[in-house]
Amino acid sequence: MKSRDSLLRLKRFQVDERRRRVAQIETMIAEFLRMAGDLDREIATEESKAGITDMTHFAYPTYARAARARRDNLSRSADELKEQLGEARQQLDEAVGEMTKAQGLEGRDKSGERTEFPVKQLDAGMMGLRALQA
């Protein structure tokens, strides 16, 4: 019984950990997209100050070029995090399923539907089975 409680606590911990991971990734994605939006506005401001929007122009603002590179990196990172988010959500679903199974076992144990065989009795049965097979 105590091992069932430990198993259930472990499964709950794993579910909580997976939920934290999903929330953390979602927060990071939102933050990266917000920062990319801020950089878009800064790029537009620099381009309007210079009056040049063509990146290949020799007088294109250096800050705007650097901000574009930073924005592109943030966008790529957000895309990679979205892939990780999918994996993390899948792991969360699996952990929830395992926890549900563990809760079902605990409920079954408490209701008395499950009968446990002593280990010695199980071992004796396996030895008898092996003797018959030989």
Over residues 87-98, the pLDDT tens digits come to 999 999 999 999
Res. 124: pLDDT tops 70: no
Range of the domain at 125: 2-133
- How many domains, the chain? 1
More confident residue, 24 or 1: 24
- Closest to 68 measured CA to CA, from 50, 49, 42: 42
Neighbouring C-alpha atoms within 13 Å toward the C-beta of 22: 15
List the CATH number of the domain containing 17. Answer: 1.10.287
Q: What is the pLDDT of residue 2?
A: 73
Res. 19: pLDDT tops 50: yes
Phi/psi class of residue 51: alpha, beta or left (left: φ > 0; alpha: ψ in -120 to 50)?
left
- pLDDT tens-place string over residues 35-86: 999 999 999 999 999 999 999 999 999 999 999 999 999 999 999 999 999 9
Scan for tokens 């092996």, then name that residue.
130
Measured distance CA(48)–CA(98) in Å, rounded: 56
Residue 53: how many CB atoms within 10 A of its CB? 13
